[in-house]
Amino acid sequence: MTPILEFHNISRSFKKDVPVLNGVSFSMTEGEVVGLLGRNGAGKTTLIRIAMGMLFPHTGTVRVFGLSPTDEPVAVKKRIGYVAEEQVLPVGSSIAELIALHRYLFPSWDPALERQLLDRFGFAGTAAKIRHLSKGQARQVALICAVCHRPELLILDEPAGGLDPAARREFLETSIQLLNREGTAILFSSHHMNDVERLGGRVVLLDDGKVRLDRQLDQIHEDHCVAMIPRSAVPASDAIESLPGCLRARPVFEDWHAVFQGTPEAVRRRLQESLGLQDVRCVSVPLEELFVELVGSKRLEEVS
Amino acid sequence: MQLLINPSDELPIYRQIMRQITEAIAGGRLKSGDKLTSHRELSEHLVIAPLTVKKAYDELEALGYIETQRGRGTFVCATLPETDRADQAEQIRQSARRLLSQAYLAGLGFQEVVKVLEEADRELTEGPPALQHPASKTQETQ
């Protein structure tokens, strides 16, 4: 089966010799949900813009439905829905005008879905101009424009950014319904780990221009843990990071916090066998903590 | 029955669902032949991915607690999986010893442990306390 989205060895920099992306590869299959995570500036938006054909990669190839998004933009965009982080909707148009434009552009536009979503988001009418909408409402209009042609792939760049919890939840509810009813594949970037948990699927974590982690969410929960190793016992993080299964170690006060692939029991045993450490504390942690341990600062901050 | 999930828990959401359904069966709140909410409904109700619900149901089905009847839905099995009683009894004795030693080390007396057990029994048979107050239906921390 052809992947619906495929990044192969993508690199891109905006300043010479400072790559934002440095050899990123992963792919998505039909109906799959992938959460794209990473710190601010990790290259999530850059990668998404490359998939949309809005940016050229400096090396590597991107294929959407097996096509190049820059060579065949129309064929690709017909089958994609996209909501950008800072959606720029024309502020002078009304909701109705904007929807009419999209209905005209996309032959597969579904008026029933459009009515249902307008209803669900509580728009009484569509005469309001975009400039008079709240941030949450504007995002909802952007979502309507992105999904009513029933795309096979929905790309959401920080869909919840700047939204209040209620608006975020409504946005999420709509995404879940689309998953249920249409089986739409979704690639979304987010800093809200609870939203990532709710949408489920797979997590791709970008860090330092590369994919640091690419696994199913459930496997991340059940097969990763954080070991707390006293720094007095192991002087340098290299000794820990060179152990099989160790993804990263960073200093946190008196300890190294090391992320390992494996269950807490297995990792505790491994540390005893390899470094002779007795009874190291190994714990399963929520996704948010794991994220911090994987991409958080490696410097020990001295606060005096 | 009402399910609660907490996305920021370290336990994956599908396991949270599995645990609550198993507890409801153990406590008699779900009986043989009872129909479970459909994947789709539960997914939209809890606002979680449909595949997460499917995974929880698939695992419970593999364990022999529930069964899917084509076109009709998912039901609690008429006969729950047989377990080796003698083997289970030994495990339960061990758990009891662990529970008591933990309680005694924490300074709880035997009667207090009995109280804790009675509370746990009420939760299993009548549902967690949060579920008895409609006003506090969700306990999710954002």
Each residue's pLDDT tens digit in chain A (304 positions)?
789 999 999 999 999 889 999 999 999 999 899 999 999 999 999 999 999 999 999 999 999 999 999 999 999 999 999 998 877 789 999 999 999 999 999 999 999 999 999 998 888 889 999 999 988 889 899 999 999 999 999 999 998 887 889 888 988 998 898 888 888 999 999 999 999 999 988 999 999 999 999 999 999 999 999 999 999 999 888 999 999 999 999 999 899 999 999 999 999 999 999 999 988 999 999 999 999 999 988 876 655 5
Residues of A with CB below 8 A from B53's CB? none
Decide if A285 and B10 are in contact by the 8 Å CB cutoff.
Answer: yes
Decide if B44 and A173 are in contact by the 8 Å CB cutoff.
Answer: yes
Residue A271, token pair as written in the block: 């540390």
| A8 to chain B, closest Cα gap in Å | 27
* Amino acid (one-letter) located at A40: N
Chain B interface with A: residues with Cβ < 8 Å? 7-14, 40, 43-44, 47-52, 55, 140, 142
Decide if A176 and B48 are in contact by the 8 Å CB cutoff.
Answer: yes
Decide if A200 and B40 are in contact by the 8 Å CB cutoff.
Answer: no
CA angle B103, B106, B111 (to 5 degrees): 45
Strand order through the sheet with A224-230: A246-252, A255-261, A224-230, A281-283
Q: Provide the pLDDT for residue A303.
A: 57
Which residues is A164 bridged to in the sheet? Answer: none
Q: Provide the pLDDT for residue B79.
A: 85
Q: Collect contacts of A160-168 with beta carbons under 8 A, ≥24 apart.
A: A160/A190, A160/A192, A160/A195, A161/A85, A161/A191, A162/A135, A163/A135, A163/A136, A163/A139, A164/A136, A165/B142, A167/A136, A167/A139, A167/A140, A168/A192, A168/A195
Instruction: Tell me which of B6, B9, B10 to substitute to probe the interface with A (most A C-beta atoms closer than 10 Å).
Output: B10
Residues of B with CB below 8 A from A173's CB? 44, 47
Q: In chain B, whose CA is at the least distance from the CA of A172?
A: B47
Q: Provide the pLDDT for residue A301.
A: 61
Of A198, A222, A285, the CB nearest to B48: A198
Q: In chain B, whose CA is at the least distance from the CA of A34?
A: B49
Decide if B48 and A218 are in contact by the 8 Å CB cutoff.
Answer: no
Report d(CA A93, CA B59) in Å as an integer: 50
Chain A interface with B: residues with Cβ < 8 Å? 33, 165, 169, 172-173, 176-177, 179-180, 193-195, 197-201, 217-218, 221-222, 284-288
Angle between helices B39-46 and B50-62 (to 10 degrees): 130
Q: What pLDDT, in 10s, does the model give residues A235-257? A: 888 999 999 999 999 999 899 99
Decide if A218 and B12 are in contact by the 8 Å CB cutoff.
Answer: yes
| B2 to chain A, closest Cα gap in Å | 18
Q: Provide the pLDDT for residue B141.
A: 38
Of A179, A197, A222, the CB nearest to B7: A197
pTM of the model: 0.86
Residue A243, token pair as written in the block: 């152990």
Residues of A with CB below 8 A from B54's CB? none
Residues of B with CB below 8 A from A290's CB? none
Report d(CA B125, CA B23) in Å as an integer: 9
